[in-house]
């Protein structure tokens, strides 16, 4: 995982229905850009497409949408990090808002540690369900980060990606869109939590992404003004043209700022 690169992750969720369509979308994204120097692209498709998509293009890294903490055993329907490793999958989403209610904080922590033990980089999702006037959401996210990274070593922290996704800003029940300023606030909070637990030198290596109804219209704002290390994209990652535009926004970020900006 390159320290100086932005990371753009596409979470396909339970889409598309067929392998043929998955290959079409995947190849469409790969054809949309040449060599990327400042951006790493990761696609997380449904697990049954992983092996086939690995052969479509090497320009895109593959991730899974979840992983179980045990290596093997009587766990019907689960996929272990070790199994993903045998496929050459290097990333997995852990604790996504659509999955987190199924697991305790301790189980999310076991998923993170299981991924790290198998050489898989976890994309740890954290985020509050509501932004209350008493600012209790700050402690809520703080606790999520602390519990998920319990017993994770300082050396392993560099192999963890954190994605902040405000649940109140996502999907059909969204109260409103989140702002880049709100993301920056949470990013600084997460960095403080990491700094208190692991020290500044370890914290500086951690990528913090924004994920919450990311689209072509708000991508630049979160990357530039929110200072996000990358984006976790849902719906628009299934549209090659729109997802490629987001990737190019990341790749061209410095030039988009203009010659007089730093």
- pLDDT at residue 43 in the model: 98
For the chain, first and last CA: distance in Å?
A: 25
CA-closest candidate to residue 240, choices 6, 19, 7, 21:
21
User: Which residues does the annotation mark as catalytic?
Assistant: 96, 165
Whether pLDDT at 28 is above 80: yes
Decide if domain 6-248 falls under CATH 2.40.10.340: no
Alpha-carbon dihedral sign for residues 223, 226, 232, 233 = negative
Q: Counting every residue, how long is the chain?
A: 262
pLDDT of amino acid 262:
42
- Distance separating alpha carbons of residues 165 and 174, to the nearest angstrom: 12
For helices 240-251 and 19-31, give the axis angle rounded to 10 degrees.
Answer: 30
Tokens of 94: 């852990």
What is the rounded average pLDDT of the residues 131-141?
Answer: 92
Average pLDDT of the residues of the chain:
93
CA-CA-CA-CA torsion sign (182, 207, 199, 121): positive
Burial class (CB in 10 A: 0-12, 13-18, 19+), 1: middle
Give the pLDDT band of residue 1 (cuts 50, 70, 90).
low
Give the pLDDT of residue 133: 87
Q: Are strands 6-11 and 207-210 parallel, antiparallel or unpaired?
A: unpaired
Grade residue 229 by pLDDT with cuts at 50, 70 and 90: very high
- Greater model confidence, 229 or 101: 229
Q: Tell me the pLDDT tens digit for each residue of 55-87.
A: 999 999 999 999 999 999 999 999 999 999 999
- Would you state the pLDDT for residue 249? 97
pLDDT at 39 over 50: yes
CA distance 177 to 166: 9
> Would the pLDDT of 135 be above 60?
yes
Which residue spans within 113-178 are E strands per DSSP? 121-126, 161-164
Cβ contact 233:216 at 8 Å: no
| Per-residue model confidence as pLDDT tens digits over 144-196 | 999 999 999 999 999 999 999 999 998 878 888 999 999 999 999 999 999 99
* pTM of structure: 0.94
pLDDT band at 30 (very low <50, low <70, confident <90, very high): very high
Q: Which residues contact 165 (CB under 8 A, 6 or more apart)?
A: 96, 97, 125, 126, 127, 210, 211, 212, 232
Mean pLDDT, range 206-228, rounded to an integer: 96
Region of residue 8 (left: phi > 0; alpha: psi -120 to 50; beta: else)? beta
| Mean pLDDT of the 192-221 span | 95
Q: Residue 174's pLDDT is what?
A: 86
Query: CA 23, CA 260: separation in Å to the nearest integer?
Result: 42
pLDDT at 261: 45
User: Is the confidence at residue 107, as pLDDT, over 70?
Assistant: yes
């Amino acid at each position: 995982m390159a320290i100086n690169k932005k990371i753009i992750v596409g979470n396909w969720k339970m889409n598309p229905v067929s392998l043929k369509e998955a290959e079409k979308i995947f190849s469409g994204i790969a054809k949309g850009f040449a060599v990327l120097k400042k951006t790493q692209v990761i696609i997380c498709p449904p697990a049954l497409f992983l092996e086939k998509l690995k052969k479509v293009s090497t320009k895109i890294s593959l991730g899974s949408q979840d992983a179980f903490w045990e290596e093997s055993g009587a766990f019907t329907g689960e996929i272990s990090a070790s199994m993903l490793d045998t496929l050459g999958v290097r990333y997995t989403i852990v604790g996504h808002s659509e999955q987190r209610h199924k697991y305790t904080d301790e189980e999310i922590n076991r998923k993170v540690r299981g991924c790290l033990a198998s050489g898989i980089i976890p994309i740890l999702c954290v985020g509050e369900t509501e932004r209350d006037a008493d600012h209790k959401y700050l402690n809520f996210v703080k606790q999520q980060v602390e519990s998920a990274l319990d017993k994770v070593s300082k050396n392993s922290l560099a192999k963890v990606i954190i994605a902040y996704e405000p649940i109140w800003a996502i999907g059909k029940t969204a109260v409103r869109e989140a702002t880049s300023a709100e993301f920056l606030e949470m990013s600084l909070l997460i960095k403080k939590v990491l700094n208190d637990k692991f020290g500044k030198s370890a914290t500086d290596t951690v990528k913090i992404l924004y994920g919450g109804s990311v689209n072509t219209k708000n991508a630049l704002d979160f990357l530039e003004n929110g200072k996000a290390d990358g984006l976790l994209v849902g719906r628009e990652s299934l549209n090659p043209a729109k997802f490629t535009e987001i990737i190019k926004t990341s790749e061209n970020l410095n030039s988009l700022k203009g010659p007089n900006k730093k």
